[in-house]
Amino acid sequence: MDALDSGTDQDPEVTGTPATLGNTAAAVIPSTRPVRRAFVISTVMALVVLLAAEFLYFTFEAPFFFTWDNLLNILTAASIIGIIAAPGTMLLIAGQFDLSVGSGAAFCGMVLAVVAQDHGLFIGVLAAVAAGAGLGILNGFLVTVIEINALITTLGTLAVFRGLTEVLSSGQVVAVNNFSSIGTARPFLNIPVPVIILAVIVAIFWFVLRYTTFGRAMYAIGANPLAARLVGIRSKRLIFIGFVLSGLCVSLGGLINSSQLGSASPNTALGMELSVVTAIVLGGTSLTGGRGTILGTVIGLLVISVLNNGMVLMNIDPFYQDIARGCLLILAVAFDRLSSRFGALSGRQTA
Amino acid sequence: MAFELQTRAIRKSFSGVEVLHGVDLDAVGGSVLALLGENGAGKSTLVKILSGDYKPDSGEIHIDGDIRQSLDPVSARQIGIRMIFQEIVDAPTLTVAENIALGHLPRRLGLVDWSTVRRKAVQVLTELEVELDPNAIVGELRVGERQIIEIARELTEDARCLILDEPTAALSSQEVERLFQFIRRLRDRGVAIIYITHRLDEVPTIADRVQVLRDGNVVIRGEVAQFARKELVQAMVGRAVGEVKRPESIARHEPAQPRIRLEAAASGDDFLDVNLEAYAGEVVALYGKIGSGSASVAEALFGMRALTAGKLELNGETMSFGHPREAIEADVGLMPADRQREAAFMVRSVAENLVAPSWPRIARLGALITSGMESTIYARWHDLLGVRSRNDPAQLLATLSGGNQQKVLLGRWLERNSKVLVLIEPTRGVDVGARQEIYKLLRGLAAEGVAIVVSTSDYEEVVQVADRAVVMARGAIVANLDGNEITTERLIAEGH
């Protein structure tokens, strides 16, 4: 495993001799960012434990839960969120948000449906991908050129894209015919295509974040934008690219959704940004940027998906699922904040 | 009877490791106590016990004979203990007057009494002899000016014990002198002053008594006059270190062309008509107090500040850098003044911090990189730079001391193989031992043919590191000193 992200580090305070402790202690950082790897590792461990607990509980409480078919169901349900959360993780590592993903996915799906009616499926798919790229370019432009805060930008475009979707469809559900392949086909080991796409996207972003200068630069931008500029990173360009990648993955999510349903609805993926952000933050990506991993996001995603699935199997009212999701998000953020505070305190304690 | 604040046998542990092993301290009204020690010696922990931020594990605090086990921030404040931190904690979007009144805004009929806010600000600024507009926005001021405001804020209330944690780190010599005058005035009024510093030359000037901490123990305690400077240094470091001395003058066969050159350069109001050149193999110091323009000139060399007149030449070629990346590609490196804000990726590993500017250069196929590659590079520099850490490339930069962070950040330009290195205040907040090591590194780099420009407001630094010194004041060059002309006396005299 890559040394940077491996969990083998030990707590400096515990292992340091008094002499080196002096050095450690002198790191007087008024920043409130987490500085201690040991604690972050335990965040991931806590998640794995949470996931295992969910598994155990649902296995005993819901007989159908622990079956190959149901596990595939869980992954299928998670795939669209995961495909969108992968670039989202990269953006948050660079200190940026994309909240417009849910309505972006609906818009791309609708573009597919409307264009395919007149010009055929192939052109429809191209148009949907182009629409996704266009959404990303718009977000990226507003954030890097106009320099509007990403949270506000994408909160605005979240509403705009949803409105555009409704305008495009006149508020109606539009059918998409003969396009079930990417949503429902099971070419290999009975695994549905969306799950395979999820695996590919996760692998790509995992690789990019870990083994490319682009990935390194994203971490650097999130850790300290000013310093990133002074070591020669063209931050704006890279953040722009990050938003475009997000837009492309959003269009992929929209296509899969339309394929699964055989139609595009203006209400598709309503509130999906909540699930996406929850998965990312639950997975340990710091809200202040500079830290986070794709694998963490995958675990976060599984925690949410298993919970949703288990609650359905146990026949729990779907309204409670929203409550559970919201609580998970707050729990995740609370964890991030508490670990920041804990990290800052321990970094300062002997200063 | 003079105010007395004493600690007796104070012990304090963090995570099971004791950092104060029974420390005594005596602060007396009407006297300045210099508290010396390297980073991590326990100075800050000790004074945070006095300010009520930490509770000691054992020991006593005596306040005018009243014995307490510990203090809390509120009671410490009521007693009249005031602490001024090294880091600036102001409200950058508010005005000078508002910042001075911060936390104790005067009120009338429940509303903020703005005229009193202004009057008090003017009063305290006049007392400090600082010419600052009370209506200026603090965020737009220079670091040294902001530091003065920090102090001014604490002085608006009655203070009986003033603790200053390295208050002069960012001040120009003129501002330091003003601060000293003010401290003396407070002392004469009966305030007990605890003065934490790294700068030994300040000790005889300002302090009456001195106490040195090392690894949580008191190693020296007594009247300032009792100790020679060398004894203090040895007490702090625990070993003999090289004292302030000139670097050996190296025989330079001057190349025909300077590596980097500014010709009749100007940038807005910051500096005017600056001619500066640095040849391969030399260290040029750009000395000037804060606000003299020396830092701005250094930034202009890296393209961070656009020239409004004149030109920048690199190896005889006229350049204009639109983005720092272009300067880096032209083999120019910059160590900015504010390490934490402008240079360090605190939450990333030391290896990444060191390699960052070289990523495009070392990547395979133009983009591929592994942390193994970074670790190999880091391992190569770790010993050369003398970084004291766990020697683990994955260690977070934040867990290193200031001096060691600075070495890693300096290493990034060594790895990048920069031919011109520009440094702004390279040893601010760095302890004595690490400071010497950084100077040695710079001399070593120069010997290898790098042209080095050090912009600094610390005259001792100039004496210790520079082959040539360019003195700036009020945005213009006022003197060029060569070799043995560089003395602290000359620098102070010319820099005014």
> What is the ipTM metric for this complex?
0.81
Three-state helix/strand/coil letters over chain A: CCCCCCCCCCCHHHHCCHHHHHHHHCCCCCCCCCCCHHHHHHHHHHHHHHHHHHHHHHHHHCCCCCCHHHHHHHHHHHHHHHHHHHHHHHHHHCCCCCCCHHHHHHHHHHHHHHHHHHHCHHHHHHHHHHHHHHHHHHHHHHHHHCCCCHHHHHHHHHHHHHHHHHHHHCCCCEECCCCCHHHHCCCECCECHHHHHHHHHHHHHHHHHHHEHHHHHHHHHHHCHHHHHHCCCCHHHHHHHHHHHHHHHHHHHHHHHHHHHCEECCCCCCCHHHHHHHHHHHCCCCCCCCCCCHHHHHHHHHHHHHHHHHHHHCCCCHHHHHHHHHHHHHHHHHHHHHHHHHHHHHHHCCC
* Closest-CA residue to A271 (of A322, A306, A312): A322
Contact B333, B424 (CB under 8 A): no
Mean pLDDT of B266-279: 90
Least confident of B236-250, B322-336, B457-471: B236-250
Q: What is the pLDDT of residue B169?
A: 66
Confidence of residue B253 (pLDDT cuts 50, 70, 90): low
**In this complex, is the C-beta atom of B380 within 8 Å of any C-beta atom belonging to chain A?**
no
Q: What is the pLDDT of residue A177?
A: 86
Confidence of residue B233 (pLDDT cuts 50, 70, 90): confident
Contact A77, A302 (CB under 8 A): no
The model's pLDDT over B480-492, given as tens digits with 9 standing for 90+, comes to: 998 888 887 777 7
Q: What is the pTM of this model?
A: 0.76
Q: Identify which has the larger pLDDT, B267 or A35.
A: B267
**In this complex, is the C-beta atom of A166 within 8 Å of any C-beta atom belonging to chain B?**
no
Mean pLDDT of B176-187: 82
* Distance (Å, whole) CA A264 – CA A261: 7
Residue B174 has pLDDT above 60, yes or no: yes
Contact A307, A241 (CB under 8 A): no
The residue of B38, B399, B417 whose CB has the most chain A CBs within 10 angstroms, and thus the best one to mutate to test that interface, is: B399
Q: What is the pLDDT of residue B197?
A: 81
Chain-chain contact of B40 with A227 (C-beta, under 8 angstroms): no
Angle, alpha carbons A286-A291-A293 (nearest 5°):
100
Chain-chain contact of A211 with B369 (C-beta, under 8 angstroms): yes
**In this complex, is the C-beta atom of A233 within 8 Å of any C-beta atom belonging to chain B?**
yes
**In this complex, is the C-beta atom of A237 within 8 Å of any C-beta atom belonging to chain B?**
no
**In this complex, is the C-beta atom of A37 within 8 Å of any C-beta atom belonging to chain B?**
yes
* Distance (Å, whole) CA B179 – CA B191: 15
Bridge-based pairing of strands B420-424 and B332-335 is parallel
Residue B157 has pLDDT above 70, yes or no: no
The residues near A148 (Cβ < 8 Å, ≥ 6 apart) are A142
**In this complex, is the C-beta atom of A225 within 8 Å of any C-beta atom belonging to chain B?**
no
Mean pLDDT of B376-390: 88
The model's pLDDT over B58-79, given as tens digits with 9 standing for 90+, comes to: 999 999 888 999 898 888 888 8
Q: What is the pLDDT of residue B326?
A: 93
Contacts B370 to A, Cβ<8 Å: 2, 210-211
Determine the residue of chain A that is closest to B335 in CA distance. A230
The model's pLDDT over B101-119, given as tens digits with 9 standing for 90+, comes to: 877 777 777 788 888 888 8
**In this complex, is the C-beta atom of A32 within 8 Å of any C-beta atom belonging to chain B?**
no
Amino acid at B303: G
Q: What is the pLDDT of residue A252?
A: 96
Please classify residue B50 by burial: count the beta carbons closer than 10 Å to its beta carbon, then call 0-12 exposed, 13-18 middle and 19+ buried. Answer: buried
Query: Any idea which residue has 């940026």 for tokens?
Result: A96
Percent of chain B surpassing pLDDT 90: 34
**In this complex, is the C-beta atom of A230 within 8 Å of any C-beta atom belonging to chain B?**
yes
Chain-chain contact of A3 with B38 (C-beta, under 8 angstroms): no
Domains and CATH numbers, chain B: 4-237 (3.40.50.300), 260-494 (3.40.50.300)
Contacts A93 to B, Cβ<8 Å: none
Q: What is the pLDDT of residue B389?
A: 80
Determine the residue of chain A that is closest to B360 in CA distance. A213
Give B415→chain A minimum CA distance, Å: 12
Q: What is the pLDDT of residue B249?
A: 63
Q: Which ranges of chain A have pLDDT less than 70?
A: 1-43, 339-351
Give B308→chain A minimum CA distance, Å: 21
**In this complex, is the C-beta atom of B40 within 8 Å of any C-beta atom belonging to chain A?**
yes
Query: Any idea which residue has 């432009």 for tokens?
Result: A141
* Distance (Å, whole) CA B472 – CA B284: 13
Chain-chain contact of A214 with B367 (C-beta, under 8 angstroms): yes
Can you say how many angstroms the Cα of residue B40 is from the centroid of all Cα atoms in its chain? 16
Considering A274-288, B4-18, B231-245, B482-496, the range whose residues carry the highest mean pLDDT is A274-288
Contact B36, B232 (CB under 8 A): yes
Instruction: Name the residue among B14, B370, B394 with its Cβ closest to that of A211.
Output: B370
Name the token pair of A300. 């976060």
Q: Identify which has the larger pLDDT, B250 or B355.
A: B355
Contacts B347 to A, Cβ<8 Å: 33-35, 223, 286, 290-291
The model's pLDDT over B129-155, given as tens digits with 9 standing for 90+, comes to: 677 888 888 888 876 678 778 777 777
Bridge-based pairing of strands B111-112 and B107-108 is antiparallel
Residue B156 has pLDDT above 60, yes or no: no
Q: What is the pLDDT of residue A116?
A: 94
The region that residue B456 occupies, defined by phi over 0 for left and psi between -120 and 50 for alpha, beta otherwise, is: beta
Can you say how many angstroms the Cα of residue A194 is from the centroid of all Cα atoms in its chain? 16
Q: What is the pLDDT of residue A302?
A: 94
Contacts B404 to A, Cβ<8 Å: 23
Name the token pair of B230. 């060398």
Least confident of A137-151, B157-171, B364-378: B157-171
Chain-chain contact of A232 with B328 (C-beta, under 8 angstroms): yes
